[in-house]
Structure formats: structure tokens, C-alpha cells
């Protein structure tokens, strides 16, 4: 391992404090830290991200995030969770690059700007700001696996959306796979992704190896079915009962629900430790796990759902049904 024990303890101690772990757990944590070198190291880089994926990660309850980072992985670097700051924190990245460490899994959150090296920088080396793109390129070379968490890292997401004025993306934001081209990137999309998807994918890699992926690089384990297939409102859909206004009883299809064309297991897994789902809560599915999110033309999340656009939306959805759904990316 590249860091010495003292540095690692410092960073991990800060991480556990940031998560408000109780004292008893900290004792267990110290023991776990002793064995840190046996665990798979994780370097988690946040680029153009709203931090929502990391916030979602903190909702992980079973197993708890604290047990994941003290028993299964060594969280070497994470901009918002680590206690280390400034040079101590950047040193982890610097040494990983300089020493050509090959012992870590690289997790990328957020899209990567390509138009200017100053658009998203992470720390300084020798007095110079270092771009997120540089770290991702360099760390990606030797990482034993790369996971793109969230739709921004997986496919570009909201930061890669096109300006309605210029038709271009102002930062040239791209996905992780457009920066690291010589490796299979595991995509765990979602805006945000469910914590089980992120931790489950990391643990699958560590304990069982590479998960089976679909054509968009998503683990089939979590993204193998459409939302529609298991939706709690399917009962209404099959009986032709459609909600006409938000809050109505019925299937949300006519209000623009994209569940037929979007893949994830939220209807079964549910959010917030089983409290609710996107469709059950009444918002409908916005297709946040799909490659085309959020810029999918007339069906995008920024389109009006009433008047003509609603009609167009429905026509487009009918085409989706006729072709069996799952066509957003195609
Ligand atoms: S269209 Fe949406 S709300 Fe209706 S059954 Fe399918 S996923 Fe559920
Ligand atoms: S149900 Fe739709 S909006 Fe909700 S997480 Fe899945 S893809 Fe995203």
C-alpha cells in the first residue's frame, strides 16, 4: 500500500468522524484499520457533480457504510467523506500516480469537462491546479477496475446537457468512458444511483469479480428489467386507468412516465430503506438511468407535459409500447 499507516489512520479517522461514528464503532474501526492493507483500496474522485451520488451513498443501511469502509474496502480518497484536507489528501492521489499503484478500484462521480483544464480542478501539485481530467486519466491507467457512479460519470448526465441557446455543452462535459478508453467501465447510472447499486457493485467486484453488464455497461443485477415490469401501478395500466393530473389514482403514463423505457429495480428495491419508489410517490419515472438522460428530445425531463408537447409525448410513448419498451437509448 502506498500510504504509511500513520497517514492512513489520519485520513480514516477523519472519515469516521465525518460520518459521526459512535466511540465503540471507532474501536472496531481501529482494529479494521490495522488490517487495511488486506482490503481493496478505493479512490473516489468527484468531478462535475452535485454530490448527490455521495449523499445517496450515505443512505446505505444494510450493510452500513461504516462496516463497508472498515471491513471490506479501504476508502483511500473521497473529497467529501475524507477527513484529510489540502496536501495530505492530494498526496494520496499524487503517490498513486507516481508510484504507479495498481491496488485500487477507481470510482468516478460526475462528468469530466474537456473544454478547459480550469473548469474543474482538484487540489494543487507544485503550486499548480490539477484538472479532474488529468487525475482521471492518470489514475485510470493503473486502476484494477473503474466504476462510473451516477448518470453524469456514466453517460454525461445533466452537466453534459446542451445549451438551448448555442446547442452546445459549455464545458464539453463527457463520461468516464470517453476519458478512459482502454478499460471496461462499469456504469452505475441514476440521478442519483441507489446506494445498494453503488456498494453492491463495489462488493461484487471485490468478492465475486466483474458483474455481468448490459450493452450500456450497467450491471444486469440492478438494471436488467424495466421499471414498468415491476411497477406498483401496473395494475392500473393493465386496466386502462390513467392519471390525468398529478395526484390522481392510476398509471402515470399519460403524464409522461418513462418507466416502460427505463431500466432499474427501484419498484422492488425502493428508496430510503424501503420507504417509497419514484412511481409510487406519484412523480413518475424520469428515466434517470438511461444513456439519453436528460436530453431525450421531446420526452426529456425539461419538456412541458401539457398542451401539444404532452400529445407528442404520448405519441412517442405509444411507439415505445408498440416496440416493447426499453427504446430510450436506441
Ligand atoms: S407507465 Fe409508469 S406508472 Fe404506468 S405502470 Fe408503467 S412504470 Fe408504472
Ligand atoms: S424509477 Fe426511473 S426515475 Fe426512478 S431511479 Fe429508476 S430510472 Fe430513475
- pLDDT tens track for 243-280: 999 999 999 999 889 999 999 999 999 999 899 999 99
Per DSSP, the three-state class of 2 is coil
Residue with cell 441557446: 165
Helices then strands, counting H and E runs in the chain, come out as 13, 7
Per DSSP, the three-state class of 225 is coil
Which ligand has the nearest atom to the CA of 267? 2
Residue of 323 and 144 predicted with greater confidence: 144
* Cell, residue 61: 443501511
DSSP 254: G
Which ligand has the nearest atom to the CA of 278? 2
Angle at 65 between CA 112 and CA 207, to 5 degrees: 85
Mean pLDDT, rounded, for 196-210:
93
Residue 238 pLDDT more than 50? yes
Per DSSP, the three-state class of 234 is helix
Distance from residue 264's CA to the centre of ligand 2 (Å): 6
CATH class of the domain whose range is 227-322: few secondary structures
Pick the residue whose CA is nearest to atom 5 on ligand 1: 234
DSSP 184: P
Distance, CA of 106 to chain centre = 13
DSSP 258-322: -GGG-B--HHHH-BTTTTB-TTTTTS----TTSTT-S--GGGSTTS--STHHHHHHHHHHHHHHH
Which ligand has the nearest atom to the CA of 266? 2
The whole-angstrom separation of Cα 104 and Cα 144 is: 6
Domain spanning 5-222: CATH superfamily: NADH:ubiquinone oxidoreductase-like, 20kDa subunit (3.40.50.700)
Amino acid 34: pLDDT: 53
For 68-95, the pLDDT digits (tens) are 877 888 889 999 888 888 889 999 999 9
CB count within 10 Å of CB 206 equals 15
Which atom of ligand 1 is nearest to 226's Cα? 7
Q: Where are the domains of the chain?
A: 5-222, 227-322
Distance from residue 252's CA to the centre of ligand 1 (Å): 6
Is the CB of residue 263 below 6 angstroms from any atom belonging to ligand 2? no
10 Å CB burial of residue 4 (0-12, 13-18, 19+) is exposed
Which band of pLDDT confidence, cut at 50, 70 and 90, is reported for residue 296? low
* pTM of full prediction above 0.75: yes
Q: What percent of the chain has pLDDT over 90?
A: 63
Instruction: Please check whether residue 177 is in contact with residue 136, taking contact to mean a CB–CB distance below 8 angstroms.
Output: no
Amino acid at each position: 500500500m502506498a500510504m504509511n499507516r500513520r497517514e492512513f489512520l489520519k485520513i480514516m479517522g477523519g472519515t469516521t468522524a465525518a460520518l459521526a461514528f459512535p466511540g465503540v464503532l471507532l474501536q472496531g474501526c481501529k482494529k479494521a484499520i490495522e488490517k487495511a492493507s488486506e482490503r481493496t483500496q478505493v479512490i473516489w474522485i468527484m468531478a462535475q457533480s452535485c454530490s448527490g451520488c455521495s449523499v445517496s451513498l450515505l443512505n446505505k443501511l444494510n450493510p452500513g457504510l461504516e462496516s463497508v469502509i472498515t471491513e471490506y474496502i479501504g476508502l483511500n480518497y473521497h473529497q467529501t467523506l475524507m477527513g484529510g484536507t489540502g496536501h495530505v489528501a492530494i498526496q494520496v492521489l499524487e503517490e498513486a500516480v507516481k508510484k504507479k499503484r495498481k491496488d485500487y478500484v477507481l470510482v468516478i462521480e460526475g462528468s469530466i469537462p474537456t473544454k478547459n483544464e480550469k473548469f474543474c480542478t482538484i487540489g494543487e501539485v507544485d503550486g499548480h491546479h490539477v484538472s479532474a481530467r488529468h487525475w482521471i486519466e492518470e489514475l485510470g491507467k493503473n486502476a484494477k477496475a473503474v466504476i462510473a457512479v451516477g448518470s453524469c460519470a456514466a453517460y454525461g448526465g445533466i452537466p453534459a446537457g446542451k445549451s438551448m441557446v448555442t446547442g452546445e455543452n459549455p464545458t464539453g462535459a463527457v463520461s468516464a468512458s470517453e476519458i478512459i478508453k482502454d478499460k471496461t467501465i462499469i456504469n452505475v447510472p441514476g440521478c442519483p444511483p441507489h446506494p445498494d447499486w453503488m456498494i453492491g457493485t463495489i462488493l461484487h467486484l471485490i468478492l465475486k469479480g466483474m458483474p455481468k453488464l448490459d450493452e450500456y455497461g450497467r450491471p444486469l443485477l440492478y438494471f436488467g428489467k424495466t421499471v414498468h415490469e415491476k411497477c406498483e401501478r401496473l395494475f392500473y395500466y393493465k386496466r386502462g386507468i390513467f392519471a390525468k393530473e398529478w395526484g390522481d389514482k392510476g398509471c402515470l403514463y399519460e403524464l409522461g412516465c418513462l418507466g416502460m423505457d427505463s431500466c432499474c429495480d427501484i419498484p422492488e428495491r425502493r428508496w430510503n430503506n424501503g420507504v417509497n419508489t419514484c412511481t409510487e410517490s406519484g412523480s413518475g419515472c424520469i428515466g434517470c438511468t438511461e444513456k439519453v438522460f436528460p436530453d431525450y428530445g421531446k420526452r426529456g425531463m425539461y419538456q412541458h407535459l401539457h398542451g401539444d408537447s404532452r400529445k407528442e409525448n404520448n405519441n412517442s410513448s405509444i411507439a415505445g409500447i408498440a416496440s416493447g419498451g426499453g427504446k430510450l437509448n436506441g
